[in-house]
Amino acid sequence: MAVKKASLKEKYRLMTRGLDWETTYQPMDKVFPYDKYEGIKIKDWDKWEDPFRLTMDAYWKYQAEKERKLYAILDSFSQNNGQLNLSDARYLTAIKLWMQGITPLEYAAHRGFSHVGRQFRGAGARVACQMQALDELRHAQTQMHAFSHYNKYFSGFHQANHMRDRAWYLSIPKSFFEDAMTAGPFEFVTSISFAFEYVLTNLLFMPFVSGAAYNGDVATTTFGFSAQSDESRHMTLGLEVVKFVLEQHEDNVPIMQRYIDKWFWRGYRLLALVGTMMDYMLPKKVMSWAEAWGVYWEENGLALFNDLSRYGIRLPKYHEIATKEKLHITHQAWMVFYTACPATAFHAWLPQPYEMDWLSEKYGETFDRFYRPRFEKFGDLEKAGKRFYTNRLPLVCQTCQIPDFFTEVDNPMKQAVRHSEWRGMKFNFCSDGCKDIFVNEPEKFCQAYIPPQQIYQGNAGGARTLAEYAAWLRCGMGTESGDYYSSDDYANWLKWHGERDTTPSSSAAAQP
């Protein structure tokens, strides 16, 4: 008997929605208990447009092919000692931060999408979340594999899991994702799929992958290309979710607006770390944070929200603050890393003269007036043999968990801080954006695990000072931690290059 083969479209329909049914032994509300409590009203799940249109068997085939190519390149990279062709070993600070801070987020995304992939009663949404869950698990694994080669030659890669639950700077990405994962399913997809993957992802992915390419990191560049097609599916999902929910019921608009406000601000705060990578960690620069913000937010982001205005959605609250801050935050964040690097599992350093020139060129008066004097003062202290490290724990924002290095947008000399009281207790924040998020959900954010406060309460092995805390992190000065130019990484780098310092000496070499 001749078997008629289904077309791709038909096959997709049969394998996704065709497998779905209305439950009868148990009411649907009991089978899907979480997709109504947020107040989001869905009248017709069939209106969901599937963004992926991929069946499971096609997915496996396609991804297996990509991974074969990826692992072939990773093998040849390690067999040919690819680490020696990096622009400079300073570059690896970016990759260490990625391995410690972002790779665990890929895994957290896998868990989050697995969870909501069970919770939506619409089959189309469930299938999309399931596939993204698989993508994210692959991203975590392939990143670890791509970076593992560096672990043989450099410090700071070997204990990402130990660091993740303890390091102050990793509580920033960790708490970001835990906030999303403990929210309702609609807030989760708005936060991760829309705000992060759709609106802000270009600010994360583009600089990371091009930065790797410019700095000779073939392993990471190849990972980036292998994840690119996944990312474009994730972006499609993010936009589809938001449009679908907004079209379903007008009561959904204010709820979605609050989610967008919250997650734009949280995502933007998290990206301060990426901006710092672009401006300070890459020996060969790709573009500045301010330029990236201009292209990806001020042009593309604003255009997107123009489109969304027909649904009654306005621009995210405080977006204009983010734009004003673009000239400051990366310099301020690098100051924190420079002064606190005895307690980080990566190295920091003073910008080289060619980098100071590049920063002046990109940031003009802002850099020369406010930030150059600090670096020059630190340079003087270094020359006098008194390299400055801070020994005090900082105020950390109750919401975003970033040490509060922010200043007022109209006065970069003035420390920014905001306060709120709840049930008789005081809480402090870096910004109005973070304060608003707390005021909407104090029951949640009062539980935040703020590293300096945990240290003072005795929950970091009894440490009271930054040095005792670093020991508890298993970070040693010169190995995992401290200034790059007094590190083992630097000493080894010189040895492997016949004592030749590869630090680029002009920004001309850095142009793409």
Residues that bind Zn ion (CB under 5 A): 397, 399-400, 430, 434
DSSP class of residue 477 equals B
Question: Of Zn ion, Fe ion, another protein, none, which one sits near residue 60, judging by CB under 5 to 8 A according to partner kind?
Answer: none
Would you give the binding string for another protein spanning residues 462-491, x where CB under 8 A is met?
--x---------------------------
- Does 60 sit near another protein (CB under 8 A)? no
Would you give the binding string for another protein spanning residues 304-343, x where CB under 8 A is met?
----------------------------x--xx--x----
Q: Return the residue of 8, 23, 37, 152 that touches another protein, per CB under 8 A.
A: 37
- Does 370 sit near another protein (CB under 8 A)? yes
Asked whether 484 and 347 are in contact (CB, 8 A), the reply is yes
Q: Return the residue of 413, 495, 498, 499 that touches another protein, per CB under 8 A.
A: 413
CA end-to-end distance (rounded Å), the chain: 61
Residue with tokens 């009894």: 462
Beta carbon nearer to Zn ion, 191 or 399 = 399
Beta carbon nearer to another protein, 419 or 497 = 419
Q: Return the residue of 135, 240, 404, 489 that touches another protein, per CB under 8 A.
A: 404
- Does 38 sit near another protein (CB under 8 A)? yes
Question: Of Fe ion, another protein, Zn ion, none, which one sits near residue 400, judging by CB under 5 to 8 A according to partner kind?
Answer: Zn ion
- 161 CB-contact burial (10 Å; exposed 0-12 / middle 13-18 / buried 19+): exposed
Q: Return the residue of 98, 168, 188, 427 that touches another protein, per CB under 8 A.
A: 427
Stretch that binds another protein, among 102-110, 155-163, 195-203, 395-403 (CB under 8 A): 395-403
Question: Of another protein, Zn ion, Fe ion, none, which one sits near residue 106, judging by CB under 5 to 8 A according to partner kind?
Answer: Fe ion
Question: Of another protein, Fe ion, Zn ion, none, which one sits near residue 4, judging by CB under 5 to 8 A according to partner kind?
Answer: none
Alpha-carbon span 491 to 496, nearest angstrom: 9
Stretch that binds Fe ion, among 233-241, 250-258, 337-345, 403-411 (CB under 5 A): 233-241
- Does 184 sit near another protein (CB under 8 A)? yes
- Does 443 sit near another protein (CB under 8 A)? yes
Alpha-carbon span 377 to 145, nearest angstrom: 41
Sequence-separated (6 or more) residues with CB below 8 Å from residue 22: 28
Taking CB atoms within 8 Å and a gap of at least 24, the contacts of 284-289 are: 284/87, 284/214, 284/215, 284/504, 284/509, 284/510, 285/214, 285/355, 285/358, 285/507, 285/510, 286/207, 286/210, 286/211, 286/214, 286/512, 287/207, 288/359, 288/362, 288/363, 289/326, 289/329, 289/330
Beta carbon nearer to another protein, 34 or 71 = 34
Residue with tokens 């983010």: 322
Here the tokens at position 69 are 């190519």
Asked whether 235 and 197 are in contact (CB, 8 A), the reply is yes
Here the tokens at position 311 are 């649904």
Alpha carbon dihedral 432, 433, 436, 437, in 10-degree steps, equals -150
Helices marked H in 166-251 — which ranges?
Answer: 171-181, 185-188, 201-214, 218-248
Angle between helices 372-383 and 353-366 (to 10 degrees): 150
In the complex, least distance from residue 184 CB atom to another protein, rounded to whole angstroms: 7
- Binding-site size, another protein (CB under 8 A): 57
Beta carbon nearer to Fe ion, 138 or 418 = 138
In the complex, least distance from residue 118 CB atom to another protein, rounded to whole angstroms: 15
- Does 395 sit near another protein (CB under 8 A)? yes
Here the tokens at position 161 are 């899991």
β-strands 425-429, 411-415 pairing:
unpaired
In the complex, least distance from residue 108 CB atom to Fe ion, rounded to whole angstroms: 10
Q: Return the residue of 81, 228, 391, 506 that touches another protein, per CB under 8 A.
A: 391
Question: Of Fe ion, Zn ion, another protein, none, which one sits near residue 434, judging by CB under 5 to 8 A according to partner kind?
Answer: Zn ion
Q: How many CB atoms lie within 10 A of CB 42?
A: 19
Asked whether 110 and 133 are in contact (CB, 8 A), the reply is yes
Beta carbon nearer to Zn ion, 173 or 224 = 173
Beta carbon nearer to Zn ion, 180 or 397 = 397
DSSP class of residue 71 equals H
Per-position b or e across 488-506, b if 16+ CB within 10 A of its CB:
ebbeebeeeeeeeebbbee
Asked whether 206 and 46 are in contact (CB, 8 A), the reply is no
- Does 139 sit near Fe ion (CB under 5 A)? yes
Beta carbon nearer to Fe ion, 106 or 480 = 106
Beta carbon nearer to Zn ion, 147 or 334 = 334
In the complex, least distance from residue 402 CB atom to Zn ion, rounded to whole angstroms: 6
Here the tokens at position 350 are 């003073």
Beta carbon nearer to Fe ion, 50 or 489 = 50
In the complex, least distance from residue 334 CB atom to another protein, rounded to whole angstroms: 9
Residues 48-107 that bind Fe ion (CB under 5 A): 106
Alpha-carbon span 430 to 419, nearest angstrom: 9
Give residues in contact with Fe ion (CB under 5 A). Answer: 106, 136, 139, 234
Give residues in contact with another protein (CB under 8 A). Answer: 33-34, 37-39, 184, 332, 335-336, 339, 369-370, 373-374, 377, 381, 386, 388, 390-396, 403-405, 407, 412-415, 417-419, 423, 425-428, 440-444, 446-450, 452-454, 456-457, 464
